[in-house]
Amino acid sequence: MKKYAVYGSPTGEYCYRYADTMDDLAGTGFEELITEEQLPVVFDGRGGYFRFREDDHSFRRIIESDKEYPLELEEMFKLNDPDFKLGWISPDGDTYSCAFTNHNKCAKMIAMKYYPGARFPERTLDKNGWLQVMDSWDGTQQHHGQFVYTEKGFITKRQADKLFDLGLYNNSEVQQMIKDSENDW
């Protein structure tokens, strides 16, 4: 069973492989590079590692798992977080929060749960009526914005209500989606 250090973020939790014994290094590629004196370490998921610090303000706990994704979808990407900014909105109006660059990973986890076997997670969500709320910034604006996207161009009444609750109702793309969809509600 592999060990993972779990950390918290504003949008959910994330984890990195963790090693506190020489046996834990098996299969990491660092068996010959890390000495026992350097343990415990955390592998950063990008080919490197760093010394584990229990006093890291983001650290939550150590877990053991053999799953591809040791944390559940709702742990990694907060479900219906009142502070939702970016992420995915289901046709039923449920939100899954993610950071600026985690839309793909979030889509993969959602697809694994709701559309098992989907080959292209983001495309699968698009085709099934999910909305993507992403960062909108052209590099010159003082503040980042939020852009709402759907491949279909249509949204459900529940999605429209959620967009209203999120303060995105007046975005020009949302207004167009509502105009194109409201006759079907």
Every domain of the chain and the residues it spans: 2-71, 74-182
Q: Indicate the pTM of the whole model.
A: 0.84
Distance CA 170, CA 61 (A): 41
Measured between its terminal Cα atoms, the distance across the chain in Å is 49
Q: Give the pLDDT confidence of 121-171 residue by residue, as tens digits.
A: 999 999 999 999 998 655 565 555 788 998 888 999 999 999 999 999 889
In angstroms, how far is CA 3 from the centroid of its own chain? 21
Q: Give the pLDDT confidence of 77-107 residue by residue, as tens digits.
A: 999 999 999 999 999 999 999 987 788 999 9
The mean pLDDT value for 47-59 works out to 95
Burial class of residue 117 in the structure, from the number of CB atoms within 10 Å of its CB (0-12 exposed, 13-18 middle, 19+ buried): exposed
Find residue 95's DSSP bridge partners: 89
| Nearest CA among 115, 136, 134, 131 for reference residue 178 | 131
Higher per-residue pLDDT: 143 or 172: 172
Distance CA 184, CA 65 (A): 45
Q: How confident is the model at residue 21 (pLDDT cuts 50, 70, 90)?
A: very high
